Every structure is written in C-alpha cells, then in structure tokens.
Chains A and B, each alone.
Chain A
C-alpha cells in the first residue's frame, strides 16, 4: 500500500513534465514546511518548546503553505492534493500524520529532480 502510494504519484507525473517542473520549488517549500510543522509538534508534545512559540510557528507555517499552494501552476495535481491535505490538518496534528504527507512530497520531488 505504501509503495503504491509512492509509485502512483510518480506514474501520474510521468506525462506532466512542464507543470510539475515549474512547481518543483513550491513542492520543496511545502515539503520543508510540512517537515518543520512535524518537528515543532514533536517537540511541543515533549514539552521542549513554549506554547507561544508553537502557536506562532503554526501560524507562519500555515501562511507559507497557503502561499505555496496558491503559487502552484497545477493545484489539482497529486502534489497539490498533498499540500491541500497538509493545510486541512489541525495545528496540533500528530507528527507522523504530517510526515506521511511530507514523505509523499519528498518522493515526488526526488522523482522530478532525477527526471
């Protein structure tokens, strides 16, 4: 199931070189933002950061993800859906859930870079 989840976006993207290529920088940004979000939440769950810091970071991460999403040339693509799914998460989403979306974006990113 996990392999299919990774393969499917790559197969879908095989025929879409122009749009995804242009969106590569936004995919990277979204991947990083999702990963930062997961890291903040992981540290917050352990009590390693203040509530104020976590709340502030959530706001900035969300704002930046929204900007990234609106910059996509193909918002209805697989990666667009992943970014949309990230934005649908609550602020205190589980780090593993956030990272699952980050993993997909990372594989899409790696696929595009090696193409």
Chain B
C-alpha cells in the first residue's frame, strides 16, 4: 500500500463527498431542525461506507464493476428496468450539478447563469476528453477540499458543541406538529438519498477497475471508504451545524443555494466567501463528472461495450459517444431553465426509489463465494448490508408520499 496514493485517495474522497444535493439539504435541515438531523447524515454515511466498500471489493476481486454483474444477477428484464431507472435518476442529478455550477459561477462573476452553465458543461467535457481517469478524479476531488472552509467556519462561530454532539444520537425532536413530523421524515429520506446516491457505487467500483485494483488493494478500498467518506461527511455536517447556528435563528430557509456560502462569509469575510464558493464549484463539478461517467459506465457495462477513461477516447468509442451524449442531454435539461432546486428535489426523489434495485444485487454479488472466493461478505458486511437494504427500501416506499404530503419539505 503506497502511503502517498492512499493519502491522495482519501483526500479525493473527502473533497468529492459533498455535492449540490447534500449542500442544499444540509443547509435546510440545519435551519429547520437545528442539530436534530446530524444523526441521519451519520447513519447514511455508514450506509455508503458499507456499500462503497462492497462495490470496491467486487471490483478488486471479481475484477468486474457493479453493472457488469448486476445484469447477470438480475436477469435481462429487471436489469433493463434497473438500468433505465438509474439512468433517469443519475441524469437528473447530473443536470442539477451542472446547473449548480452555473449558479456558483454566477455568484462569482455576475455573468448570465445559462451561459455559465453551458460553458461549465463544455469545460467539463473537455476535461473528460483530455485527462485520463486518475487525473479527472484527483483534480476535482483535491480542489473540492476547499470545502474545508465550512468546517473551519463552524469552529470560528463557536457553536454549542454539546448540542452539536447530541445531534449524533438518533432522535426525533419533541413537540413537533404532525406537519413538522412529516417534514422531518421527508428530510430523513432526502438526506439518506443524497448521501447514498446510486451513482456513487457505480463510479467507485468502475474507478477501481480503471485503476486496475486487485486483492492487494482491499485495504486501500476499506481505508478510502471509511476514512475518506467519514471525513467528507463531516463537511456536510459542518454546513448543517453552521446553518443551525446562523440561519435558523434568522428565519433563513435557505431557498437559494448561494446562501450557504454566507456560513464562511460571516466569520471570514470576502476571503471565506470566495473559498466557500470555489470549494462548492469544484465539489459540484466533480459530482457532475461522476454522474455523467457513472451513467456511461452503466450503459457500456450492461451491453458489454469497451469502456473506461484509462483508455483513450477512440479506444472505447461507444463509451465515449455515451458520455458525450449524456452530458449534452443533462445540459439540455439545464437549458430549459428549470430551477436547480427543483432538479435537486427530483434527483433525490428518483434516486431513493432506485436505491434498493442498486444495492440488492451488489450485496448478493459481494456475498457470492463463487465470484468473491475468501473475500465474500463476512458477518459484519452481511449484517450491515441487510440492515441498510431494509432502511433504503423503507425510505424508497415512503419517499413519494412524504414529498407530496410536505410539498417537498416545505410543510
């Protein structure tokens, strides 16, 4: 295990953890419910650690990414349904990220939002063409580390640490009305979805193949998913906690994604604001690339095409056409002018419904001794895997009714 590679892997995971959905829901959750939803971030992070580790292990041992074997497990019909559902949910997520980039660039430059969104899309496509896989992942992940300004800002505003720590304990606040309880439940489901987005497993396992992981990389996989995702989730918790401290008492929702940057501006002025906006920009850009590539991986792997950015674009031509077409489609969605906040809500809603279809075959694969040999799921992975499968299934069933009953969390 190369210490430098491992450190870079962890840092990339940290910087790449937060995307536009987590940003939006963390800020809203903190404002509406104080520290009471921190435990949901904690639980969801454990969930993505469990499934992330499994998907990386499958990649390293079976030398197959998740979608390759998903079709084998689910069969053609259910596999096509899963493919279609995950394409739709990940495409909407990609559009939300590109729109998010356009917004953030607008806050930075004042130039027209749609023009900036289009430019963002083109720059991302160019970076995906020019850079090989490792550079793509590292560039956006490491630049996303600027998000650390949110953690530093939280320390600077000196929140009530005892109450913040109390937020890690599973709870439902006392004295909530029925409407508020429903909104709390909606936010629980939304945070689960935002943290455990299906594209993350597809991208992570395909990335393992891109980097030619083998059984010798299992420790790297475990360390990256636990420490990397764990530290990354602390950035999301920082956003929530700052919102609880600054936005809740000020009656701020917030309704505009850009308001999150005020969490760094309030303690650190324009420098904090710029660092926050740049951190958000690169984190969201990284997520846009991941979502696009995850979809292209899914299509290519499902149909057995050549795939991967460890190859040159012309060495995997159908995969290349797929990611270009998917990016343009996501950009088209943004160009319709649909609000980024609406895209974020739809992304979270569609993704939670797809999650059980994503995680069940992954668990079955990771537990299959025929493929995984002595590296198949042991009791801890099995237990946690089934537990989280039950959790995401319950969330998937509750998601749409909660969304409708609460008008998307508004109450």
Residues from chain A with a CB closer than 8 A to the CB of B109 are: 52
The answer to whether B262 touches A40, judged by C-beta atoms less than 8 angstroms apart, is yes
The answer to whether B411 touches A24, judged by C-beta atoms less than 8 angstroms apart, is yes
Residues from chain B with a CB closer than 8 A to the CB of A50 are: 270, 273-274
Q: Which residue of A lies closest to B277 (CB)?
A: A53
Residues from chain A with a CB closer than 8 A to the CB of B306 are: none
Which residues 1-44 in A have Cβ within 8 Å of B in the complex?
24-25, 28-29, 31-33, 35-36, 38-40, 43
By secondary structure, the B interface counts as helix
The answer to whether A28 touches B410, judged by C-beta atoms less than 8 angstroms apart, is yes
Name the contact of B251 in the complex, choosing from A32, A55, A61 (C-beta under 8 A). Answer: A32
**Residue A85, interface by CB 8 Å:** no
The answer to whether B179 touches A113, judged by C-beta atoms less than 8 angstroms apart, is yes
| Alpha-carbon gap, A33 to B252, bound state (A) | 7
**Residue B177, interface by CB 8 Å:** yes
A106 to chain B, nearest CB (A): 6
Most chain B CB neighbours (cut-off 10 Å) among A49, A102, A113, A114: A49
The answer to whether B273 touches A29, judged by C-beta atoms less than 8 angstroms apart, is no
The answer to whether B258 touches A49, judged by C-beta atoms less than 8 angstroms apart, is no
Interface bits A48-71 vs B (CB < 8 Å: 1, else 0): 111011011100110010000000
The answer to whether A47 touches B255, judged by C-beta atoms less than 8 angstroms apart, is no
Residues from chain A with a CB closer than 8 A to the CB of B411 are: 24-25, 28, 113
**Residue B18, interface by CB 8 Å:** no
Residues from chain B with a CB closer than 8 A to the CB of A29 are: 253, 255, 410
Chain A residues packing against B (C-beta within 8 Å): 24-25, 28-29, 31-33, 35-36, 38-40, 43, 47-50, 52-53, 55-57, 60-61, 64, 102, 106, 113-114
16 contacts between A and B (CB under 8 A): A28-B410, A35-B251, A35-B253, A36-B253, A36-B259, A39-B247, A48-B269, A49-B265, A49-B273, A50-B270, A53-B108, A56-B258, A57-B256, A57-B258, A64-B255, A113-B177
